[in-house]
Amino acid sequence: MNIAFADFSTKAVLIGSGYMHRVFRQGDYVYKCVRPEFADRNNASHFATECRSMDLLRKAGFPVPVVCDVLPPGAFFKDLWALRESYIDGVQYRDGEMPQALEAMVCDSLLQMADRIPGTPNVYGRIASDGQTPFHDWREYLYDIVDSNPYARKRCPFLSITNDQIKKLIACLVPSNPKPCFVAMDTNLMNYFFNRENQIVGITDIDRPIWGDSTYLCATIRWRRDHWFHRSDWYHDYIEYKIKPNSSLVDLYEFLIAYEEIDERCRTGKSHPSIDAEFNALGDKLMKML
C-alpha cells in the first residue's frame, strides 16, 4: 500500500497498523500516526512523551532508535502529528509466535528498565514530555485511576467490587511512597526486534510509561501476558520470586491496570468481551480480600 504524503518527493509505505497507531516507512525512517479512534492523542505531547521515554532508555543502555522526533501536521501527513524514528532492521513476533525463551528475554528487559532507570523520590504518574508528573503520593495516583475511568464500570455493570472498596484495599495494601522507577506499561511483544542470533537489537513504541512501584510492572506484564491472552499463569511461574511475596498487592495492581484499559477500550469502541470477563473475575478475587 503506497500513499503520497506532504513534503515527500517519494511515497511512504504502510508497514503496520496497531491498536493505536499506523506505521509507515520511507528510507531509513519510520513514521507513526494515531488512528482515527484516538483523535485525542493527535498532538505533540503524545509523541513527545515517547521521545522522552526513548531518551531515558537510550541513556540506560537499551537499543532504541537513534532518531526520535515529532513532526507537526503537514510535515508528513495532512492534519496529523507524526513521530519519526530510525528504522530498526530486525525480526518481530506476534503474540503466540514468539518462542518462550525470547519472551522471557523480553520480560527480563522490562524488569531491567525498572532496575536501571530510577525516578525522583515521591514523584509518581505518567512520564510527561517535560518530565513533570502530578502526584507526590503513589496511593493518590491509584485513587485517581478509580475516579477518572467511569466507563470501566459502565462497560462491566456486574463488577462485584465498589469504588469505595477498591480505595479501601489501596489504603490497606499499597505503600504510600515506594521507590519510583520506570514502568513500561506497554508489554506488546512486537515492540521488540531480534537479529538472526535471537539477540534483542531494538525496542520501540514505549509511549505511555509511568513512574511507579516496581511491583506494578509485575502486574502489568501478568495482565497483558497471561490474562489478556488466556494463558496459564506463565509469567507468575517465571518470576515467582517477585510476585509471591506480594501476591495480594500484585492482584490489586493488576485490577487497576485492567480498570484503565477497559475504560479506554470502551471510549474508543474497541471493547473486548473476553477481557471484560477477566476484569470481572479480578474484581471477584479482590472481594475475597475485604
Q: Same domain, yes or no, for 255 and 192?
A: yes
Q: Same domain, yes or no, for 272 and 203?
A: yes
pLDDT > 70: percent of the chain: 92
In the DSSP assignment, the letter for residue 9 is S
Taken as a whole, the chain contains a residue count of 290
Predicted pLDDT of residue 58? 97
Q: Same domain, yes or no, for 168 and 274?
A: yes
Q: Same domain, yes or no, for 57 and 149?
A: no
Give how many domains the chain has, as a whole number. Answer: 2
Predicted pLDDT of residue 68? 94
CATH code of residue 76: 3.30.200
- C-alpha grid cell, residue 47: 509523541
pLDDT at 239 over 80: no
Predicted pLDDT of residue 143? 97
| Residue that terminates a domain, selected from 86, 111, 144 | 86
pLDDT > 90: percent of the chain: 60
Confidence of residue 1 (pLDDT cuts 50, 70, 90): very low
Predicted pLDDT of residue 187? 85
| Residue that terminates a domain, selected from 64, 86, 108 | 86
Q: Which residue has the higher pLDDT, 110 or 270?
A: 110
Q: Same domain, yes or no, for 122 and 56?
A: no
Confidence of residue 232 (pLDDT cuts 50, 70, 90): low
Compute how many other C-beta atoms are within 10 angstroms of the C-beta atom of residue 286.
Answer: 21
- Long-range contact set of residues 136-144: C-beta below 8 Å, sequence gap at least 24: 137/176, 137/177, 138/174, 138/175, 138/176, 138/177, 138/178, 138/180, 138/212, 138/213, 139/170, 139/171, 139/174, 139/176, 141/210, 141/212, 142/170, 142/174, 142/256, 143/167, 143/170
Candidate from 24-28, 29-33, 74-78, 257-261 with smallest mean pLDDT: 74-78
Q: Same domain, yes or no, for 9 and 42?
A: yes
Confidence of residue 19 (pLDDT cuts 50, 70, 90): confident
Bridge pairing between strands 21-26 and 12-17: antiparallel
What's the pLDDT tens digit per position in 87-146?
999 999 987 788 888 988 998 999 999 999 999 999 999 997 776 778 999 999 999 999
Residue 81 lies in a domain: yes
The average pLDDT across 29-44 equals: 92
Predicted pLDDT of residue 4? 46
Are 82 and 33 a contacting pair, CB within 8 Å?
Answer: yes
Q: Same domain, yes or no, for 124 and 30?
A: no
pLDDT at 229 over 80: no
Predicted pLDDT of residue 207? 84
Each residue of 77-86: b (16+ CB within 10 Å) or e?
beebbbbbbb
Q: Same domain, yes or no, for 65 and 123?
A: no
Q: Same domain, yes or no, for 119 and 145?
A: yes
One-letter amino acid identity for 159? L
Residue 95 lies in a domain: no
Strand residues in the chain grouped as ranges (E): 2-3, 12-17, 21-26, 29-34, 68-71, 82-86, 125-126, 181-183, 192-194, 200-203, 210-212
pLDDT at 235 over 70: no
List CB contacts of 107: < 8 A, sequence separation 6 or more. 221, 225, 235, 238, 239
Confidence of residue 221 (pLDDT cuts 50, 70, 90): confident
Q: Which residue has the higher pLDDT, 244 or 138?
A: 138
Each residue of 146-160: b (16+ CB within 10 Å) or e?
beebebbbebbeebe
Intra-chain end-to-end CA distance of the chain, in Å? 54
| Residue that terminates a domain, selected from 86, 115, 139 | 86
Mean pLDDT of the chain: 88
pLDDT at 215 over 50: yes
Helix (H, G, I), strand (E, B) or coil at 13: strand
Q: Same domain, yes or no, for 76 and 111?
A: no
Q: Give the whole-angstrom CA distance, residue 257 versus residue 146.
A: 10
Residue 145 domain boundaries: 100-287
What's the pLDDT tens digit per position in 42-65?
999 999 999 999 999 999 999 999
pLDDT at 9 over 80: no
Confidence of residue 228 (pLDDT cuts 50, 70, 90): low
Q: Same domain, yes or no, for 51 and 124?
A: no
Residue 93 lies in a domain: no
Q: Give the whole-angstrom CA distance, residue 230 versus residue 224.
A: 9
Are 24 and 11 a contacting pair, CB within 8 Å?
Answer: no
Residue 91 lies in a domain: no
Confidence of residue 2 (pLDDT cuts 50, 70, 90): very low
Q: Same domain, yes or no, for 105 and 76?
A: no
